[in-house]
Amino acid sequence: MPNGITAIAAAKPPRPSAAHDAMTLPLVEPLRIGDLVVDPPILQAPMAGYTNYAFRQIVRSFGGAGLLATEMVNARGFVWMDKELAEHPDRLWGVADEPRPLAVQIWDNDPDTLAQVGARLAHEYKVSVVDINFGCPVRQVTEKAHSGSYLLRTPDRMGQIIERVVAACHPTPVTAKTRLGCSRDKINIIDVAQIVEGAGAAALTVHGRTAADMFRGEASWDLISQIKPHLKRIPLIGNGDLDTADKVVEAFRRWNVDGVMIARASLNKPWLFQQAAAALRGEPVPPDPTVEEERALMVEHFRLVCERFGEERGAVLMRKFACCYAQGRPGAREFRKHVVMIDTAREFFDVVATYFPKA
What is the closest distance, in whole angstroms, from the C-beta atom of residue 77 to ligand FMN in the complex?
14
Site string for ligand FMN, 276-295 (x = CB under 6 A): --------------------
What is the closest distance, in whole angstroms, from the C-beta atom of residue 65 to ligand FMN in the complex?
13
The verdict on 207 binding ligand FMN (CB under 6 A) reads yes
214 is in an annotated binding site: no
**Closest CA relative to residue 210, chosen from 225, 201, 220:** 220
Calpha distance 4→14 (Å, rounded):
18
287 is in an annotated binding site: no
**Closest CA relative to residue 50, chosen from 20, 93, 108:** 93
CB-nearer residue toward ligand FMN: 45 or 65: 45
| Amino acid code (one letter) for 227 | I
Q: Is 136 a catalytic residue?
A: yes
**Closest CA relative to residue 282, chosen from 253, 239, 240:** 253
The verdict on 175 binding ligand FMN (CB under 6 A) reads no
Residues 307-326 contacting ligand FMN, CB under 6 A: none
The verdict on 149 binding ligand FMN (CB under 6 A) reads no
What is the closest distance, in whole angstroms, from the C-beta atom of residue 179 to ligand FMN in the complex?
8
337 is in an annotated binding site: no
Question: Mapping DSSP to helix (H, G, I), strand (E, B) and coil, where does residue 128 land?
Answer: coil
- For ligand FMN, which residue of 53, 65, 71, 117 counts as binding (CB under 6 A)? 71
Calpha distance 181→193 (Å, rounded):
11
**Closest CA relative to residue 43, chosen from 201, 339, 316, 272:** 272
Calpha distance 77→133 (Å, rounded):
15
The verdict on 177 binding ligand FMN (CB under 6 A) reads yes
Is the Cβ–Cβ distance between 265 and 61 less than 8 Å?
A: no
**Closest CA relative to residue 24, chosen from 258, 281, 238:** 281
263 is in an annotated binding site: yes
CB-nearer residue toward ligand FMN: 113 or 355: 113
177 is in an annotated binding site: yes
264 is in an annotated binding site: yes
State the number of CA atoms in the 13 A half-sphere of 331 facing the CB: 13
126 is in an annotated binding site: no
Calpha distance 8→28 (Å, rounded):
8
What is the closest distance, in whole angstroms, from the C-beta atom of residue 152 to ligand FMN in the complex?
13
Number of residues that bind ligand FMN (CB under 6 A): 22
Task: List the beta strands (DSSP E) in 78-197.
Answer: 102-107, 129-134, 174-179
Q: Which residues of 269-284 are buried (b: 16+ CB within 10 A; e: fewer)?
A: bbbbbbbbbbbbeeee
CB-nearer residue toward ligand FMN: 101 or 240: 240
What is the closest distance, in whole angstroms, from the C-beta atom of residue 135 to ligand FMN in the complex?
5
What is the closest distance, in whole angstroms, from the C-beta atom of residue 226 to ligand FMN in the complex?
18
Site string for ligand FMN, 89-108 (x = CB under 6 A): ----------------x---
The verdict on 48 binding ligand FMN (CB under 6 A) reads yes
H or E element in which residue 42 lies: strand 42-44
**Closest CA relative to residue 154, chosen from 192, 115, 111, 205:** 192
Residues 226-255 contacting ligand FMN, CB under 6 A: 239-242
Segment interacting with ligand FMN (CB under 6 A) among 229-237, 258-266, 268-276, 314-322: 258-266
Is the Cβ–Cβ distance between 66 and 205 less than 8 Å?
A: no
Give the binding site for ligand FMN (CB under 6 A): 45-50, 71-72, 105, 133, 135-136, 177, 207, 239-242, 262-265
Catalytic residue numbers, as ranges: 136
| Residues in binding site for FMN | 46-48, 105, 177, 207, 263-264
